[in-house]
Chains A and B, each alone.
Chain A
Amino acid sequence: MSKTITIDGQVIPFEEGQTIMEAATEAGVYIPHLCHHPEYTPHGSCKLCNVNVNGRTCSACTFPAMEGQQILNDAKDINEERKKITQMLFVEGNHFCPSCEKTGNCQLQAVAYHLNMLDDHFPLFYPHREMDASHAKVLIDHNRCIFCTLCVRASQQKDGKDVFAISGRGINKHLIINAESGLLKDSELEATDQAAHICPTGAILIKHTAYQVPIGERIYDHTQIDQVSLNSENLQHDN
């Protein structure tokens, strides 16, 4: 008989070694997330996947599923906290959805819609961040980076390179490029690398492709992020 956990009253089986996120996804239960990707080592940094496990707050993407866990996920107070975290991600950077080419295909925007985020709530930081457009085919707009490290992990684990890293701490945290000049053009990054396509926001973009997908045909135009995320056919979009 397989082991089970309970999420919001629903009994869910799991296999030894699975995280709560993995067990939930397999069972068709969506837990909001941004830094998690099923193909990469969990990072547990965005904290959107926080769930309540037997009374304690844990990151579902890193916390192992264990027999008998009573988990709260889609609860009002938890979603309220997730919304606040998302608002903080917005105010910390410069996210101008109306003109951003990732709009409609952006996980940060989609998760904000999913959590019913209607405003920024917190004062905007308007940080001064640079753009690195030096690469012929890939652009980095640091204004939109949320430090999820997916590009770092993709470059290391999938591309066999080590193009990206996070440097600095706290509010001074920033994405750096592995090149003497610090510029993308001098790095090993190629436009075909997984790291160039995995960004959940509009921070890393393939040049000259903006707005080619018309409104109405973008990933999140008709389907919310929970369905996109759970639908294995759309796994390639669920970065």
Chain B
Amino acid sequence: MYEHLETAKNQTNLKRIVVDPVSRVEGHGKVTLLLDAENKVQQARLHIVEFRGFERFIQGRPYWELPVLVQRLCGICPVSHHLAAAKAIDQLVGVDPVNLPVAAEKLRRLLHFGQVFQSHALHFFHLSSPDLLFGFESEISKRSVIAVLGAYPDLGVQGVMMRKYGQEVIRMISGKRVHGTGAIAGGMNKSLTIAERDYLLKDIDQMIDWSVASVELIKKVHCSNLPYYDDFGTIRSNYLGLTKPNGALELYHGGLRAKNDKGETIIDHVDYCHYNDYIHEEVRSWTYMKFPYLLSIGKENGWYRVGPLARVNNCDFIDTPLAEAARVEFKAHSGEAMVHSTLAFHWARLIETLHCAESIKSLLNDPDILSHDLVAQGEKRYEGVGVVEAPRGTLFHHYQVDENDIVTKANLIVSTTSNNMAMNESVRQVAAEYLSGQELTEPLLNNLEVAIRAYDPCLSCATHAMGKMPLQLELINAEGQLIDKLVKHSNGDIERNIHD
């Protein structure tokens, strides 16, 4: 592991290299490297420098606003926030998942599959394919989807059309491609009409074919340079995600499962309402993003990865045939119980894309999605927890309300937050193994971004804690010596200290 590179032992006379902003990711972040005279990396960090604050400003609002309000966290995966909040407010009106009307649950699943499908297509084709097709150190003009459309027009158009299809699934159910409505407390506000269903059915076979082709493409890219792809940015970690009760891959609703780097089970089938008993979060002074960890393992080694790699690693099987065949091949390639390659995130992501396409077809052919029995009601409660597998990983929404239906407390653990430690580790691995000691050029620095991009981070989704963040202000003179330092601790205490 590369944790020793989080903070340089001696900060004096180090050269600072900044990659700002990290491009082709959602949200705003930067990477800083501190190099010594021989260009050896002494410190490498991924900083999340934006701040959103949703956890605070949704307090004081009525709970029924939550699915619509919190989805504004993101323009790429709003449906995930919409559904996580909806699952939480279901509980506030006394509706447990088992009591949700069948049609409402299937419509939510369909909505979610549409969203994961479009988000994964966006990430692979628009954001990552330039790196994978042209090389990590290609010239800047090739590092965009425009270049992909120029060199591989069929592939580029395919990516655009796949994303569009996912967005259309979302639009048919929620009224808009981005930031619609749909899920309400205890159910859904509309079902699909026959015309809407048939409109979506028209292109689904094409989507499945294209998804199969993209799995083949990433497999070819990965396996044609196997040692490099299996090593680049790679770290051994724990993995967390939801699975179905039978161990199958699950994106909408299931129990929490965590496995360690050897594939041994840490927790399994845990009711996510009790997530607090298993996961805690740590804050650090140099980033607005928190660091979650598994309580049973501790702060030091309890961090884990979430997202496509974690889900495909964690599940026992996938319940759609083409994706399952792809999963078997994927797992076999590494020869280990768990696939740790960071770049394998792409491969796993496209296996999930295929799973989504197959699942969309199956749900579109299910008559339940036309039913008008859409809302259930129960006894009011004061606390609700909703968890879904967002495209980027496990997403937790936890709310408390008062007797007047007003939100009094909110906690969001957003997928990218869970990958915070892992992204930093991958950045440090690439910095140490691929950059250290070299004269750093702009193309070389793209390697750092490639490692981050593999996680498909949504940095703007993931920065919400307010008031708890420790802050540190340092005054450094021209010789690089620290001459003053002001620290605000998590508990609010302020300390002036130049000696630590």
> Is there a chain B Cβ closer than 8 Å to A9's Cβ?
no
CB within 8 A of B68: which of A134, A211, A216? Answer: A211
A residues 208-223 touching B (CB-CB < 8 Å): 208, 210-217
Mark out the residues of chain A between 198 and 215 whose CB falls within 8 Å of any chain B CB in the assembled complex.
Answer: 207-208, 210-215
Interface residues of B (CB under 8 A from A): 60-62, 64-65, 67-69, 72, 93, 174-176, 179-182, 184-185, 189-190, 404-406
Q: Are B175 and A216 within 8 A (Cβ)? A: yes
Q: Which residues of A contact B406 (CB under 8 A)?
A: 131, 133
The count of chain A contact residues (Cβ–Cβ below 8 Å) is 17
Q: Supply 6 A–B pairs (Cβ within 8 Å), ascending by A.
A: A99-B65, A99-B72, A131-B61, A133-B62, A133-B406, A214-B175
CA distance A99 to B85 in the complex (A): 14
With a cutoff of 8 Å between Cβ atoms, the chain B residues found around residue A210 in the complex are 62, 64-65, 68, 184
A residues contacting B by CB (< 8 A) are: 98-99, 101, 131, 133-134, 139, 207-208, 210-217
Find the residue from A99, A139, A213 having the highest chain B CB count within 10 A. A99
Cα A217 to Cα B182 in complex, Å, equals 12
Number of A-B contacts (CB under 8 A): 54
Shortest C-beta distance, B16 to chain A (Å), equals 38
Contact B72 A211 (CB under 8 A): no
Alpha-carbon separation in the docked complex, A99 to B406 (Å): 15
- One of B72, B176, B190, B405 near A133 (C-beta < 8 A): B405
Q: How far is the CA of A95 from the CA of B180 in the complex (A)?
A: 18
Residues on A with beta carbons closer than 8 Å to the beta carbon of B67: 211
A217 to B174, CA, bound (A): 12
Closest A residue to B71 using CB positions: A99
Classify the secondary structure of A's interface with B.
loop
Is B62 in contact with A211, judged by CB distance below 8 angstroms? no
Indicate which residue in A131, A212, A215, A217 contacts B176 across the interface (CB closer than 8 Å): A215
- Given that A98-B72, A98-B179, A101-B65 are known contacts, is A211 also in contact with B405, CB under 8 Å in the complex? no
| B residues in contact with A214, CB < 8 Å | 175, 181-182, 189-190
Contact residue among A98, A133, A139, A211 (Cβ-Cβ distance under 8 Å from B189)? A211
Query: Do residues B68 and A101 form an inter-chain contact, with CB atoms below 8 A?
Result: yes
**B180 touching A215, Cβ below 8 Å:** yes
In this complex, what residue of A is CB-closest to B64?
A210
Cα distance A211–B71 in the bound complex, in angstroms: 14
Set of chain B residues within 8 Å of A101, measured between Cβ atoms: 64-65, 68
Say yes or no: A212-B189 contact (C-beta < 8 A), given A133-B404, A133-B406, A134-B404: yes
Contacts of B72 in A (CB 8 A): 98-99
